[in-house]
Structure 1
Amino acid sequence: MRIMAQPGNTDRSARMKGRGAAALLTLATLLSLPLPASAQVADLVDRSTLRVCADPANMPFTNEEGEGFENKIADLMAQKLGMPLDYTWFPQATGFYRMTLGAKRCDVVMGYVAGGDPVLNTNAYYRSAWVLITKKDGDLADVDTLEDQRLKGRRIGVIAGTPPGDLLTRNGLMPLARPYALMVDRRFESPAEAMIADLDDGVIDAGILWGPIGGYYAKKSDVPLSVVPLVKEKGDPSLVYRITFGIRPGELNWKHQLNAFIKDEQGAINRILLDYGVPLLDGQDRPIEQAP
């Protein structure tokens, strides 16, 4: 079984769960030291190759053809670190951590929610949110919160078992909601694409997807769609997440090196993400619409 890679899913071993990550006080000093490559990665199992743990069929994040935005960021990382790139492929489902990072078959997961157990998080390299997707020419195009009364009586698509479902229930919107499966084999099914197709065809009036997924598939739609990050929701659960690289606990040298990569290449990372339609947010939840 493969699952949609998005925050708030029910798999505690998956990459997107939790809150907050702490930066180390010695980071600035360590980043300034001209350490040789062997010293910088002294706590890695493999010191000569960038070994990435990834799902082989999980667009827009990764696939075996290297077409996802995490593939592109991994390419950039390998180039900047001067290492050849190698993948360990395993579906983003139960057992992912145990069979990849935990088994020391690879050394970094390219997308993990800050604070997500059981990994050690790097600094965040982007922030995004769940998004409300509607037709640009429709009367819901400017809705930016699930509290909006215009959503009453509307058919709203939602991935079953994800945080937005709690907010739909709180706002009395669940009776007419249309659920889409969370756990699927992505080689054969794509709930996000199905939701966008239903929105295009008028089967639903709006859809809610994790931002990187929603932004990517909305961009590919033949119908002009509005993609609005849900940053105004009150109370828990939050629909805004900080995304990091996930590594094994204790590998602090590796964390410092990846933090340096994020700091030095943030502009290039943002350009990749924006090219894939990822709705980026700054620290005040304001949209980032172009890379520096």
Structure 2
Amino acid sequence: MLSRVVASVAVLAVITANVASAEETPAGEPLKVCADPYMLPFSNEAGAGYENKIAELFATKLGKTLEYEWFPQRQGFIRNTLRAEDDDGKFKCDLVMSVPDHFELAATTEPYYASTYYLVIAKGRGLDDVSTPEMLGKVVADGRPAKIAVADQGPGQLWVFRNNLMGNMVPYVGQSGDPKVNPGETIMRDIASGTVDVSVVWGPTAGYYAGVLAKEAQFILLPLRNDPEYPDMPLEYNMSMAVRHGEKEWLATVNNLLRENAADIEKIMKGLNIPLIPVTKRAEQDDD
């Protein structure tokens, strides 16, 4: 009798596992990723970003083809991708490759990398001896010129203000009306060309374009760290992937993929010159 019960439980477990697997990644269905078509080093239509390369890795591990739902990374991205349905009532895509940990609009995985904002300085313009972010304010106060690109989004404005550098600010639009314009790339190219000399740039963008533009200019990249005196100005971020709220089986699958392929993911990111910092311990997230 006991052996029958054990056998029945085992069969039920297999059936349940198969049903759960079918619900989260239906057989024959592609891996559908939500992504920006013009936002290197994250993603683009040519598949050159690290999000593209990690998505390709996951598709291979799952034995699936890879498809994208393209939409610019700006307000409305989640609404128009992860939460949007096509004419057949199916969701347009099922996975966002990078969002801040505990992103409110979706259920987030365990963080798989962390980075910070960087103070980017062009070499050869009288600022080569600036070895810490704090030094910039001092040398500018002593009379050295520095044109500082500041986007109207992100922590750059606060950092410039708190370091008494507002008089050196050159304003930039953080979100252009043209979705093909990458604001971070624009700033990095303007530093290289001499239009500006300095900026505060998100780490992946800073590292990637410092490599891309190495023949045009050399850069100093100084990491900015969280300051406990200014908790309203976070600079370091854990980054996760995201699925729809309530999709616990799919979330668990993605977490497993992240754990099992951590070394390959790190290799992909380092191959694109993405600067990484240690992931900080996260609080548990409830996902209903």
- With normalisation by structure 1, the TM-score equals 0.78
2:75 equivalent in structure 1: 94
Shift of 1:160: 1.5
Bigger helix share? 2
2:284 equivalent in structure 1: none
Contact 1:140-1:150 at 8 Å conserved across structures: no
The residue type paired with residue 275 of structure 1 is G
Q: How far does the alpha carbon of each residue in 1:73-130 deviate from its partner, in whole angstroms, 9 at most, with x for none?
A: 1001111122211111112222221121112211010011111121100011100011
5 Å-filtered alignment, 1:25-104, equals 39-40=20-21, 42-43=23-24, 48-103=29-84, 104=91
Once the two structures are aligned, what percentage of the paired residues are identical?
33
5 Å-filtered alignment, 1:54-203, equals 54-103=35-84, 104-136=91-123, 138-145=127-134, 148-152=137-141, 154-184=146-176, 185-187=178-180, 189-203=181-195
- Pick which of 146-155 and 61-70 moved more: 146-155
- With normalisation by structure 2, the TM-score equals 0.79
User: 1:208 and 2:200 equivalent?
Assistant: yes
Q: What's the secondary structure of 2:168's corresponding residue?
A: coil
- Pick which of 252-261 and 36-45 moved more: 36-45
User: 1:268 and 2:264 equivalent?
Assistant: yes
Shift of 1:136: 4.4
Contact 2:68-2:93 at 8 Å conserved across structures: yes
Q: 1:196 to 1:92 in 2, by over 3 A?
A: closer
Shift of 1:61: 1.0
Q: 2:212 aligns with which of 206, 220, 223?
A: 220
Q: What's the secondary structure of 1:207's corresponding residue?
A: strand
Q: How far does the alpha carbon of each residue in 1:169-212 deviate from its partner, in whole angstroms, 9 at most, with x for none?
A: 1222122111221112242x343333223323433231211111
| CA distance, structure 2, for counterparts of residue 64 and residue 38 of structure 1 | 34
Contact 1:77-1:261 at 8 Å conserved across structures: yes
Contact 1:145-1:230 at 8 Å conserved across structures: no
Unmatched 5+ residue regions in structure 2?
1-12, 85-90, 282-288
2:10 equivalent in structure 1: none
1:278 equivalent in structure 2: 274
Choose 1 or 2 for highest CA Rg: 2
Unmatched 5+ residue regions in structure 1?
1-32, 286-292
- Pick which of 96-105 and 197-206 moved more: 197-206
| CA distance, structure 2, for counterparts of residue 203 and residue 233 of structure 1 | 30
2:87 equivalent in structure 1: none
| CA distance, structure 2, for counterparts of residue 198 and residue 112 of structure 1 | 27
- Pick which of 191-200 and 97-106 moved more: 191-200
Q: For this pair of structures, how many residues does the alignment match?
A: 252
Q: What's the secondary structure of 1:167's corresponding residue?
A: helix
| CA distance, structure 2, for counterparts of residue 50 and residue 159 of structure 1 | 35
| CA distance, structure 2, for counterparts of residue 107 and residue 85 of structure 1 | 11
Q: 1:182 to 1:133 in 2, by over 3 A?
A: same
Q: 1:280 to 1:218 in 2, by over 3 A?
A: same
Provide the alpha-carbon RMSD of the alignment. 2.6
| CA distance, structure 1, for counterparts of residue 175 and residue 199 of structure 2 | 18
Shift of 1:147: 7.5
| CA distance, structure 2, for counterparts of residue 63 and residue 38 of structure 1 | 34
| CA distance, structure 2, for counterparts of residue 207 and residue 69 of structure 1 | 23
Q: What's the secondary structure of 2:133's corresponding residue?
A: coil
| CA distance, structure 2, for counterparts of residue 140 and residue 224 of structure 1 | 14
Contact 1:132-1:228 at 8 Å conserved across structures: yes
Q: What's the secondary structure of 2:69's corresponding residue?
A: strand
Q: How far does the alpha carbon of each residue in 1:133-188 deviate from its partner, in whole angstroms, 9 at most, with x for none?
A: 1134543541234875235463211222222211211222122111221112242x
| CA distance, structure 2, for counterparts of residue 198 and residue 57 of structure 1 | 18
Shift of 1:218: 1.1
Runs of 4+ in 1 over 4 A off after TM superposition: 33-38, 43-47, 145-148
Contact 1:128-1:241 at 8 Å conserved across structures: yes
